[in-house]
Amino acid sequence: MVVVVMALGLASCMSVLAVFHALTADPVAGRHGETRTVMFRTKDEKPDPLRAVMQASLVQQVVDRLQDQTLAAVAYGTTRVQPATAPTDAAGDAETAVMFATSRIPAVFGIELLRGQWWTAADDHDGSPVAVIDVATAQRLFGTDNVLGKSIRIDDKRFRIIGVHANWAPALKFYAQNRKQYARGMAQVMAPFSAGDGVDMQMGQMSCPLGNMSDAWKQCSFSQLWAYDLDATQRQRLLQTATQVAQDFDKPPPGVTPVVYQPSLLTVREWLVLQHTVPDSVRAYVWVALAFLALCLLNAAGVLAARFLRRGAELGVRRALGASRRDVFFQHLIESGSLSAVAGAIALPLMLGAFALMRTQSIPYAALIRFHPGTFIALCAATVLTGLAVGVYPAWRAAVVPPALQVKQN
């Protein structure tokens, strides 16, 4: 009974904590600098994810004015991508992740190039129809990663492949919006920012003006600014430039009070918190799971205490023959630790089963739920701590009872 109770508590708690860790892990861990995004909010306005997206022309202006900074304009979405030789009406993959970005994007996001080259600032300026795709997409579309010089169609626009980048898969799509951070496809196709004009994409977050809209690329807000490893002076210049560009764009007619912009910089973690990447339900599940584990441990401790104290005669004889309280204490602590080890072994398949069950549910972050070596290490640590927590009190109770009283009572 003790083993089953502890196994259930461990499996349920570790399953929920693994999900929580997947949603809160730093998606850009390991890089020495901080990655930040710009929020174009007005003075005294509360942070809002919608204020992080602006029109393409505005973010392009900021990038053009700060050529010395590791800064990139980014527009991300999904659309149909297929080889240029495929029939126009062929069914393409409508969920291919496409990112249009300015030329410094590999430095901003830390994307490794395997062959070929990235596009240049001149390609950005000219809107050159060139693309860099990842290895998996190259294999899927052409059956090989030797695809330099080949052409693809993004939506209905033709692009020439000039490079192949490594499969880039941060834990979360931190650069995406509107719950698309959980999706698996990561920047499979990348192209110059201005080349996205005319491509029909499903954007993560888009805000368009009311009334007649003839050109979504020029009229809608869907682009973000991302910067990497800026010092204090560079951050200040970036905010000043963003403020000036926003003020110039939003000039009111004469006699109308102008809107005062006060942009701010958010780290990746702050940006994810603002978007509520960790749902409130998951936070509630964590507390419920911890409470359930505590209840299981209390029950297991009570059962072990009763079991140890029923062996009073044996303990009395051992104490009378010279065994110290310390010997008795550690004997029972080892017993409880052995039981917890068995419980941990049973909890592992239960936890894997819980992962498989959660992945079948229609929850947006289901794709992130998978077993990692770190999860196994955490389970082992939790098993050891559980064994100590459950066994300390019963072992202490068994050790402090006088041997003469134990023998007499039995």
What is the pLDDT, as a whole number, of residue 221? 80
- Please report whether residue 14 resides in a domain: yes
Tokens of 180: 């698309």
Residues 118, 155 within the same domain = yes
Range of the domain at 16: 2-23+279-409
Q: For residue 37, give the H/E element and its range.
A: strand 35-39
Residue 45 has pLDDT above 90, yes or no: no
Residue 78: left if φ>0, alpha if ψ -120 to 50, beta else—which one?
Answer: beta
The CA distance from 132 to 138, in Å, is 10
Query: pLDDT-based confidence at 302, cuts 50/70/90?
Result: confident
Share of the chain above pLDDT 90, in %: 21
Residue 37 has pLDDT above 60, yes or no: yes
Residues 233, 344 within the same domain = no
Q: What is the mean pLDDT of residues 103-123?
A: 92
- Please report whether residue 189 resides in a domain: yes
Residues 129, 211 within the same domain = yes
76-109 per-position pLDDT tens digit: 888 889 898 877 665 555 678 889 999 999 999 9
Last residue of a domain, which of 262, 289, 321? 262
What is the pLDDT, as a whole number, of residue 89? 60
Q: What is the mean pLDDT of residues 40-68?
A: 84
Burial 65-95 (b: 16+ CB within 10 A, else e): bbeebbbbbbbbbbbbbbeeeeeeeeebbee
Residues 257, 283 within the same domain = no
What is the pLDDT, as a whole number, of residue 90? 59
- Please report whether residue 18 resides in a domain: yes
How many domains does one find in the chain?
2
- Please report whether residue 162 resides in a domain: yes
End-to-end CA distance of the chain: 25
- Please report whether residue 217 resides in a domain: yes
- Length of the chain equals 410
The CA distance from 266 to 41, in Å, is 12
193-242 per-position pLDDT tens digit: 999 888 888 776 666 665 444 566 767 788 889 999 899 999 999 999 99
Residues 12, 69 within the same domain = no
Burial class of residue 250, CB neighbours in 10 A (0-12, 13-18, 19+): middle
Residues 382, 248 within the same domain = no
Residues 170, 255 within the same domain = yes
What is the pLDDT, as a whole number, of residue 405? 59
Residues 302, 385 within the same domain = yes
Strand intervals (E) in 269-383: none
The CA distance from 359 to 347, in Å, is 18
Last residue of a domain, which of 262, 290, 323? 262
Residues 289, 380 within the same domain = yes
- Please report whether residue 33 resides in a domain: no
Residues 253, 308 within the same domain = no
What is the pLDDT, as a whole number, of residue 213? 47
- Please report whether residue 325 resides in a domain: yes
240-285 per-position pLDDT tens digit: 999 988 888 877 777 677 778 888 898 888 888 888 778 888 889 8
Residues 102, 193 within the same domain = yes
Residues 110, 230 within the same domain = yes
Q: Which of 23-37, 273-287, 368-382 has the lowest mean pLDDT?
A: 368-382
- Please report whether residue 34 resides in a domain: no
DSSP state of 112: P
CA distances from 355 to 15, 131, 343 (A): 7, 37, 18
Last residue of a domain, which of 202, 227, 262? 262
